[in-house]
Chain A
Amino acid sequence: MLVEILIAACLVISGIFGLVGSFGLIKLPDPMMRLHAPTKATTLGVGGALIASMLYFYFVVGQFSFHELMITLFLFLTAPITGHFVAKTHLHLTCKPGDLPPTATDRPWASYESDAERARIEAAAEGETAG
């Protein structure tokens, strides 16, 4: 009985968070804010569904399955990479380097630094430590 309540709670939480994530993708006004909403769907939505299915197959069906853990691990590993790439794409497609806040060093934002500029600055820094 307790297990049933736990599984049902996991399922309901996962459904609500999946819906909230996708609704936030529609509702939030700024592209960078919209980046934030689907991460909830990834962590709590899919995580809740997979935990529920793990509990169900262990306690109700009676067989232990570890595939869910693999899927969760894979999603947790790839979600930050995806978020980083989408944010970078948004930044490069819509913002100019002058629009961004200053970095408080003499170097620009790393994403906007050209290869030649980076090589020059790094060579200068190496020369300083050697001299």
Chain B
Amino acid sequence: MIGYALTFALACFGLALLLNIYRVVRAPTKGDRILALDTMVINAIALLALFGILEGTTMYFEASMIIAMTGFISTVSYTRFLLRGDIIE
């Protein structure tokens, strides 16, 4: 039963990533593009966690931790750049 649920969740997050890629390519405003990239990072973290269950190893959690940090820093720096024209003042 866990196997079917895992496949379903993996398919859902894969589809969500595709929708995010569509939004990144065709974004009405710049804020939407940043938001779509941020959501992509979140979906990638969920996908990694699910892949860890699939493989039965906890090794991927360090990777998802690093991805979470990188995603946060990049989102903040992108928005800072758009707001102030400078990242570190």
- Tell me the A residues contacting B by CB distance below 8 Å: 4-5, 7-9, 11-12, 14-16, 18-19, 21-23, 25-26, 31, 34-35, 38, 41-42, 45-46, 49-50, 52-53, 56-57, 60-61, 63, 65, 67-68, 70-71, 74-75, 78, 81-82, 85-90, 92-94
Contacts and interface: CB of A to CB of B under 8 A. Distances in A.
A89 B65 contact: no
Interface string B58-74: 10011011001100100
A82 B38 contact: yes
Contact of B29 (A63, A65, A94): A94
B46 A45 contact: yes
Given A15-B5, A74-B72, 8 more contacts: A7-B2, A12-B9, A35-B31, A38-B42, A53-B49, A57-B53, A71-B61, A71-B64
13 contacts: A8-B1, A12-B8, A22-B20, A22-B43, A25-B23, A35-B35, A41-B16, A41-B42, A45-B46, A49-B46, A74-B68, A85-B75, A88-B83
A38 B13 CA distance: 13
Contacts of B22: 26
A93 B83 CA distance: 8
Interface of B: 1-2, 4-6, 8-13, 15-17, 19-20, 22-23, 28-32, 34-36, 38-39, 42-43, 45-46, 49-50, 52-53, 56, 58, 61-62, 64-65, 68-69, 72, 75-76, 79-80, 82-83
Given A14-B9, A19-B12, A49 B50 contact: yes
B39 A38 contact: yes
Contacts of A11: 2, 5-6, 8-9, 50
A70 B42 CA distance: 14
Given A4-B1, A88-B83, A74 B39 contact: no
Given A11-B2, A41-B39, A85-B79, A16 B12 contact: yes
